[in-house]
């Protein structure tokens, strides 16, 4: 029986969630990526006043945009000031991750009610194994894929998604992008030459910017270009493993299974500032932000049932240089105060003389609570884990207290 793997990708997910909340913005260019000051204002006549990109000042980055904004050249990861030049009349909305996570849970639950073998790939995309579902083989998965689209629409109150159904994960991810938005695309191996080979090489998941640059440097610009290259030449040029993978991927071959569960390697929280901040002159603001990140990270660990033994920080400076530092703890923790103290120790190993553009906190070396239960009956381990479970929100003790080097 041939495999039928679906890749479901929500359409402009964050922006679409916001349009459910603000339906009067439908059809307009809308950009998500503002801060709290860009919250819509309810007016006395019942209408809303929105912030516009033309009025934006700062160093933020676009999180996502509606398709109308994309038509004007505004895409995710673009600087907000640059976006303002391209689409000055676009509406700017703040990011609301709590809302996006809620809708993510809704659409994934709706999918699992129809097709239980699901691999979670992020807040807005999943893989689904349709192979053994009743009737799936009769029409290559079309009817069930449409059923999934309808279930997502109903569960979320109107959000659309695009689905690609093919024999494997690699092709399905490509297929889900072909007919966006609200697409349903089925591809068989005989369709690879006409629908996959004309695509730019960078469209393949696994070909990043550096690999794409190297491919272009040797004249390989499309998936078809790679497929036409001699396998041994690819291996000689790109290395044994990656060269062989390029050959297989360009011919649409991928044997990876749909993995229903995998342990996360780390959990993190980070934020990009609207203006660059200095460790001394903006100490109070940074202290509040840093503490908030640690408290939220502790909440994430608790909610997901993990404790961490390695705490790290990530900083991006005004020259776009990124610095990371990590600290291993004597025992696992999910306590906000412990996380904040460890993250502060990491900061002491960083030159903070330049202004900061981004700040993040990461929890690694994770263990589930079930894994930590076993030693609870033994002295120190029990005390450590129990202490880690005690909430601590005394933010007055948690300061951004690391001055820059002299």
Distance CA 163, CA 103 (A): 18
Q: Give me the phi and psi of 94, to 5 degrees please.
A: -75, 160
Cis geometry, peptide bond prior to residue 181 (ω within 30 degrees of 0): yes
Type and span of the H or E element at 269: strand 266-277
- Side by side, the strands of the sheet bearing 30-34 are 51-52, 91-94, 30-34, 64-65
> What tokens were used for 125?
């995309």
**Sign (positive/negative) of CA torsion 297, 299, 303, 307?**
positive
**What is the DSSP annotation of 200-223?**
BGGGSTT--HHHHHHHHHTT--BH
Helix (H, G, I), strand (E, B) or coil at 317: strand
Block residue for tokens 């904004």:
69
Active site residue 125: yes
Close Cβ partners of 145 (under 8 Å, ≥ 6 residues apart): 6, 130, 163, 165, 184, 186
Distance CA 20, CA 371 (A): 41
Strand pairing category for 5-10 and 161-166: antiparallel
Close Cβ partners of 376 (under 8 Å, ≥ 6 residues apart): 382, 385, 386
| Residue tagged active-site, from 68, 119, 125, 213 | 125
Distance CA 139, CA 345 (A): 59
Active site residues: 125
């Amino acid at each position: 029986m041939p495999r039928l793997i679906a890749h479901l990708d929500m359409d402009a997910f964050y922006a679409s969630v916001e349009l459910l909340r603000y339906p009067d913005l439908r059809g307009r260019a809308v950009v998500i990526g503002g801060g709290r000051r860009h919250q819509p204002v309810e007016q006395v006549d019942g209408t809303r006043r929105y912030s516009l990109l033309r009025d934006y000042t700062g160093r933020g980055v676009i999180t996502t945009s509606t398709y109308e904004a994309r038509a004007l050249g505004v895409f995710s990861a673009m600087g907000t000031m640059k976006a303002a030049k391209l689409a000055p009349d676009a509406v700017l909305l703040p990011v609301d991750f709590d809302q996006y996570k809620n809708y993510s849970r809704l659409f994934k639950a709706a999918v699992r009610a129809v097709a239980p073998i699901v691999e979670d790939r992020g807040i807005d995309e999943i893989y689904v194994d349709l192979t053994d579902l009743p009737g799936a083989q009769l029409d290559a998965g079309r009817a069930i894929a449409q059923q999934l689209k309808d279930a997502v629409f109903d569960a979320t109150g109107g959000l659309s998604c695009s689905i690609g159904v093919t024999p494997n994960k690699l092709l399905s991810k490509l297929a889900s992008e072909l007919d966006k938005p609200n697409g349903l695309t089925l591809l068989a191996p005989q369709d690879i030459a006409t629908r996959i080979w004309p695509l730019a090489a960078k469209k393949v998941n696994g070909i990043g910017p550096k690999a794409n640059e190297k491919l272009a440097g040797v004249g390989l610009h499309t998936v078809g270009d790679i497929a036409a290259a001699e396998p041994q030449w690819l291996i000689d040029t790109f290395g044994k493993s990656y060269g062989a993978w390029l050959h297989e991927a360009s011919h649409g071959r991928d044997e990876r299974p749909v993995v229903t569960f995998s342990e996360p390697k780390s959990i993190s929280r980070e934020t990009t500032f609207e203006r660059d901040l200095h460790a001394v002159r903006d100490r109070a603001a940074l202290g509040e932000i840093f503490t908030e990140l640690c408290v939220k990270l502790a909440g994430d660990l608790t909610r997901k049932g993990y404790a961490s033994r390695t705490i790290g920080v990530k900083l991006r400076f005004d020259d776009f240089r990124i610095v990371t530092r990590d600290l291993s703890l004597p025992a696992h923790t999910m306590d906000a105060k412990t996380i904040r103290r460890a993250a502060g120790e990491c900061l002491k190993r960083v030159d903070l003389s330049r202004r900061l553009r981004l700040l993040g906190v990461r929890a690694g070396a994770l263990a589930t609570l079930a894994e930590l239960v076993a030693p609870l009956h033994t002295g120190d381990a029990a005390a450590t884990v129990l202490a880690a479970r005690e909430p601590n929100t005394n933010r007055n003790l948690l300061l951004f207290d690391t001055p820059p080097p002299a």
